[in-house]
């Protein structure tokens, strides 16, 4: 893999870019220095750009959040999220696994994400024993944003009720303003360890890429995926045959440690075509 200082050498080689959000473009509060400039320069070169996030929210909600951060919709061609995939699955029930879920969900996650259910025929069950499945959005900060142990009693109750779990964000953690925050994937990992049934939507699940590529409208061989997480961004790209660029300054915090980065990628069986320290030009 090439170890580059920024995106400039890669821009001429691809027509379309699938960009991660957390850890690449922003930290959940504000854009990283230089990130908006990269998006502007890609657009100036008529490159197609789609944002792909494991956010457990509808795509329109993520787009509004980006605008509020100062990242206007003119800088990208579309947004796809794990939350959008969850919504589509629960709305259409076309997938056999979704089709067998009931209509009563036990909610695991912060109340601010409840708008995900707007327009769905889903009722919130207040107790696991009254639910048909558990909808895992992520760690509720009112319980704990950083520690898994306070969430275990709820997971145990769901397991006793033999609820299948639908996980709306496969990420284990995100970094928000320098703090590592638990995500739904961490809760799902514990639940699976208890013997619970878990289905996730979002990176690295291959099912998230066809709708993303449809938004992009570029042949796969001319697409570059840019992300900061080996387990989701880089592995997801590899699973569907897309080339990828690994941002070392995100969740892995490997800036300046390229030998260690190469070893981690090799241990995971992954081969991004390049690394960059951060999403800069």
Q: What is the pTM of this model?
A: 0.92
**Positions of the chain with pLDDT under 70:** 177
Q: Say yes or no: 107 and 192 in one domain.
A: yes
CATH number, position 28? 3.40.50.1000
Within a domain: 95? no
Does 164 share its domain with 116? yes
| Same-domain status, 30 and 110 | no
pLDDT value, residue 178: 72
When divided into structural domains, the chain yields a total of 2
Residue ending a domain, choose from 200, 222, 244: 200
pLDDT tens sequence across 23-64:
999 988 899 999 999 999 999 999 999 999 999 999 999 999
The last residue of a domain, from among 149, 173, 200: 200
Q: Please identify, among 200, 235, 257, the residue that sits at the C-terminal boundary of a domain.
A: 200
Q: Are residues 77 and 209 in the same domain?
A: yes
Answer yes or no: do 77 and 212 share one domain.
Answer: yes
Structural domain includes residue 91: no
Phi-psi region at 61: left, alpha or beta (left = phi > 0; alpha = psi -120 to 50): alpha
- What's the domain range around 33? 2-81+204-276
Q: What is the pLDDT of residues 148-187, one digit of tens each?
A: 999 999 999 999 999 999 999 999 987 776 778 899 999 9
């Amino acid at each position: 893999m090439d170890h580059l200082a920024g995106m400039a050498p890669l821009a001429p080689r691809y027509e379309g870019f699938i960009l991660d959000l957390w850890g690449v473009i922003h930290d959940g509060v504000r854009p990283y220095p230089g990130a908006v400039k990269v998006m502007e320069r890609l657009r100036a070169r008529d490159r197609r750009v789609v944002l792909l996030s494991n956010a457990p929210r509808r795509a329109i909600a993520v787009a509004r959040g980006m605008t509020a951060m100062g990242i206007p919709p003119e800088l990208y061609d579309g947004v796809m999220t794990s939350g959008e995939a969850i919504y589509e699955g629960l709305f259409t029930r076309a997938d056999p696994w979704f089709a067998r879920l009931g209509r009563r969900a036990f909610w695991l996650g912060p109340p601010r994400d409840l708008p995900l259910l707007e327009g769905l025929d889903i009722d919130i069950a207040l107790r696991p024993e009254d639910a048909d499945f558990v909808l895992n959005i992520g760690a509720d900060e009112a319980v704990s944003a950083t520690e898994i142990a306070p969430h275990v009693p709820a997971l145990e109750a769901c397991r006793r009720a033999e609820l299948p779990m639908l996980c709306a964000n496969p990420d284990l953690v995100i970094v928000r303003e320098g703090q590592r925050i638990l995500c739904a994937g961490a809760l799902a990992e514990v639940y699976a360890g208890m013997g619970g049934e878990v289905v996730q939507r979002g990176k690295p699940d291959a099912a998230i890429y066809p709708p993303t590529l449809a938004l992009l409208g570029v042949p796969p061989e001319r697409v570059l995926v840019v992300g900061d997480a080996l387990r989701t961004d880089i592995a997801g790209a590899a699973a569907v045959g897309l080339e990828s660029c690994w941002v070392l300054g995100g969740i892995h915090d490997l800036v300046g440690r390229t030998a260690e980065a190469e070893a981690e990628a090799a241990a995971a069986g992954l081969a991004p075509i390049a690394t960059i320290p951060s999403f800069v030009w």
